[in-house]
Amino acid sequence: MPPMYLSYCSAFALSSLGLTLHRTHLISALLCLESMMLSMYIALSVLPIENQTASLALTPILMLTFSACEAGTGLAMLVASTRTHGSDHLHNLNLLQC
Task: Assign domain 2-92 one CATH number from 1.10.275.10, 3.90.1150.10, 1.20.1260.10, 1.10.287.3510.
Answer: 1.10.287.3510
**Entry pTM:** 0.79
Long-range contacts of 72-79, Cβ-Cβ distance < 8 Å, separation of 24 or more: 74/26, 74/30, 74/33, 75/30, 77/26, 78/26, 78/27, 78/30
Q: Per residue in 31-82, pLDDT tens?
A: 999 999 999 888 888 877 777 777 677 788 888 899 999 999 999 988 988 8
Looking at residue 55, what is its pLDDT?
A: 67
7 — pLDDT class (breaks 50, 70, 90) = confident
Q: Per residue in 10-21, pLDDT tens?
A: 999 999 999 898
| Domain boundaries of the chain, sorted by first residue | 2-92
Looking at residue 98, what is its pLDDT?
A: 52
